[in-house]
């Protein structure tokens, strides 16, 4: 019996095993919305048909299972089509950050060994330059308009049949980490990792049901939005509303308009939403929300408290990264463990190691290490030395610092590369940021270490102000006084600088290193 003949009787698990879970949902809820966006909508049936057509189009251009597809695309339906096609065509899909320079995009497209390169016509110069640096690409396709040297994506898809392919093969994804030095690194698994304890917990708490809709708040080329904003609900048969660019009030408007039930955000987004005027918040009915998930960076306690007070006990936090991980905390656990990112989920082993690689006692700060699964361990693609550097025996690290308390809850204090060492004392900038963000003038803040002849480093506060506040000497004095009143002496900033907008990753995480490097030109700070 062929695959096609079996499809009507597939279980969801059987369909998922060959990358056809969306086809399974299309048979059952085909007329329901899968994608809603400014660039167009797709029902589950339409999304499934176009994914099948794209597989055929890529095969016609020479791709086979195991080949790589690079995707540089904004949040639009075609992004999702490529993801779905790769899932069933056996292709290894790599999304690319469209904020990167053309040369940087070209490095990733070439490094991931892409044979197809799907690029958004919003970024023609980057796409052309990247394609010129990736000689292995045999199928360049342009989405949403023309790019010199690229075929038209829509024409390629429209020329093919949309019925289910009869030989699906489960594809994979290879994400590239942003990295703070050198080239981005591809996170690669030769074999699939076992079912993640985090996914099990998310499924349990999300409790998806018919009629739910999820809001995609972040750029889909980023690992967390792709996995948690998009793939997670879609694979459950829940449609997604795509935001082209995140905005605090627009988020509330979309929640009210579409009766959004689920969304994944980063702490910066929560902070900006909380800072909206009361009258603005009151305009929108957000009572449909049952599940707000956040991660990517430590969430200031007052932001978390404000979010729970506003939306109710529907706020969940996780700690994980492209490489793996699985820490979780809900709204009910939070009050007793304010500032924690949660406890390891069943099957997840976490240890805190000192500089010598030895586990430390409860409450002591060190580097956070996760025990790798027996199967499906990650490696950095074509970078064995980087893979080796991330592992310590069976344990790996994402470079974060923190401690585990006596009850097993993990608290993050910053990244090892960001630790400020002043007079031999380790100062964790995330702790300073959390306090300073409580000041009403502060939209965002980044504490950094700057050179000090006597102490090695001293703390400087770099601040982005809210509208209506002047970045002048009086404001600097006010912020220093506020910090002095709320922080221990060794953590207090000695100076304040202002920036119109702090540099950040599209995920919302502040690029502290980018800020800090401006003050270390000619010095040896790593």
Question: Which residues are paired to 294 by β-bridges?
Answer: 265, 317
Q: How far is CA 497 from CA 65, 471, 487, 511, in A?
A: 52, 8, 18, 16
Q: What is the pLDDT of residues 467-519, one digit of tens each?
A: 999 999 999 999 999 999 988 887 899 999 999 999 987 667 788 888 988 88
Nearest CA among 262, 258, 255, 204 for reference residue 231: 262
Nearest CA among 170, 486, 511 for reference residue 301: 486
Query: Does residue 218 fall inside a structural domain?
Result: no
Question: Which residues are paired to 464 by β-bridges?
Answer: 444
Domain finish residue from 173, 199, 233: 173
Q: What is the pLDDT of residues 122-156, one digit of tens each?
A: 999 999 999 999 999 999 999 999 999 999 999 99
Q: How many CA atoms lie within 13 A of 475 on its CB side?
A: 19
Query: Does residue 251 fall inside a structural domain?
Result: no
**Residue 211 in this model has a pLDDT that exceeds 80:** yes
For the chain, how many structural domains are there in total? 2
Whole domain around residue 70: which residue ranges?
Answer: 3-173
Structure tokens at 259: 């009766």
**Residue 67 in this model has a pLDDT that exceeds 70:** yes
* Mean local confidence (pLDDT), 372-401: 76
Query: Does residue 90 fall inside a structural domain?
Result: yes
Q: What is the CATH number of the domain that holds 442?
A: 3.30.300.30
Domain finish residue from 173, 194, 217: 173
- Calpha distance 273→270 (Å, rounded): 5
Q: What is the CATH number of the domain that holds 9?
A: 3.40.50.12780
- Calpha distance 493→483 (Å, rounded): 7
Of 374-383, 423-432, 471-480, 517-526, the least confident: 517-526
DSSP-derived 3-state class of residue 489: helix
Q: Which residues contact 383 (CB under 8 A, 6 or more apart)?
A: 185, 186
Query: Does residue 434 fall inside a structural domain?
Result: yes
pLDDT of residue 283: 97
Query: Does residue 75 fall inside a structural domain?
Result: yes
Helices 21-29 and 44-60 pack at an angle, to 10 degrees, of: 140
- Calpha distance 509→271 (Å, rounded): 12
DSSP-derived 3-state class of residue 4: helix
**Residue 4 in this model has a pLDDT that exceeds 70:** no
Nearest CA among 445, 415, 441, 437 for reference residue 428: 415
pTM listed for this prediction: 0.82
Query: Does residue 500 fall inside a structural domain?
Result: yes
Q: What is the pLDDT of residues 303-344, one digit of tens each?
A: 999 999 999 999 999 988 655 678 999 999 999 999 999 999
Domain finish residue from 145, 173, 201: 173
Query: Does residue 306 fall inside a structural domain?
Result: no
Query: Does residue 290 fall inside a structural domain?
Result: no
């Amino acid at each position: 019996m062929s695959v096609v003949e079996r499809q009507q009787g597939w279980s969801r698990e059987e369909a998922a095993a060959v990358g056809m879970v969306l086809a399974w949902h299309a048979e059952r809820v085909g007329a329901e919305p899968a994608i809603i966006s400014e660039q167009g909508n797709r029902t589950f049936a339409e999304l499934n048909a176009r994914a099948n057509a794209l597989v055929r189009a890529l095969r016609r251009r020479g791709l086979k299972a195991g080949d790589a597809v690079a995707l540089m695309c904004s949040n639009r339906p075609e992004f999702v089509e490529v993801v779905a096609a790769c899932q069933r065509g056996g292709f290894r899909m790599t999304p690319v950050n469209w904020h990167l320079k053309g040369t940087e995009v070209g490095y990733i497209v070439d490094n991931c060994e892409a044979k197809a390169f799907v690029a958004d016509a919003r970024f023609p110069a980057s796409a052309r330059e990247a394609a010129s640096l990736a000689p292995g690409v045999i199928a360049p396709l342009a989405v949403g308009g023309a790019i010199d040297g690229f075929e038209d994506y829509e024409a390629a898809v429209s020329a093919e049949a949309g019925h289910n392919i009869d030989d699906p093969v489960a594809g994979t994804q290879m994400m590239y980490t942003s990295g703070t030095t050198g080239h981005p690194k591809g996170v690669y698994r030769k074999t699939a990792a076992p079912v993640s304890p985090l996914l099990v917990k998310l499924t349990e708490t999300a409790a998806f049901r018919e009629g739910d809709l999820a809001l995609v708040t972040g750029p889909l080329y980023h690992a967390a939005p792709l996995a948690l904003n998009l793939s997670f609900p879609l694979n459950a048969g829940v449609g997604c509303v795509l935001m082209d660019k995140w905005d605090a009030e627009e988020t509330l408007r979309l929640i009210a308009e579409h009766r959004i039930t689920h969304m994944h955000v980063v702490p910066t987004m929560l902070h900006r939403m909380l800072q909206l005027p009361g009258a603005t918040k009151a305009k929108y009915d957000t009572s449909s929300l049952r599940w707000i998930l956040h991660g990517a960076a430590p969430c200031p306690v007052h932001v978390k408290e404000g979010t729970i007070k506003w939306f109710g006990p529907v706020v969940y936090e996780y700690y994980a990264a492209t490489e793996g991980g699985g820490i979780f905390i809900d709204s009910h656990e939070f009050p007793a463990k304010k500032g924690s990112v949660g406890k390891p989920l069943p099957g997840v082993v976490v240890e805190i190691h000192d500089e010598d690689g030895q586990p430390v006692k409860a409450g002591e700060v060190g580097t956070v290490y996760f025990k790798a699964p027996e199967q499906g361990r990650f490696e950095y693609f074509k970078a064995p030395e980087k893979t080796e550097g991330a592992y310590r025996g069976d344990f790996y690290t994402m470079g974060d610092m923190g401690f585990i308390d006596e009850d097993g809850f993990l608290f993050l204090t910053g990244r090892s590369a960001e630790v400020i060492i002043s007079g031999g004392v380790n100062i964790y900038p995330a702790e300073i940021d959390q306090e300073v963000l409580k000041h009403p003038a502060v939209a965002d803040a980044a504490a950094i270490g700057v050179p000090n002849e006597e102490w090695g480093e001293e703390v400087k506060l770099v601040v982005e102000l809210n509208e209506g506040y002047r970045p002048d000497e009086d404001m600097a004095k006010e912020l220093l006084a506020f910090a002095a009143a709320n922080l221990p002496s060794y953590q207090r900033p000695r100076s304040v600088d202002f920036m119109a907008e702090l540099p950040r990753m599209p995920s919302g995480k502040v690029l502290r290193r980018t800020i800090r490097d401006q003050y270390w030109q000619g010095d040896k700070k790593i």
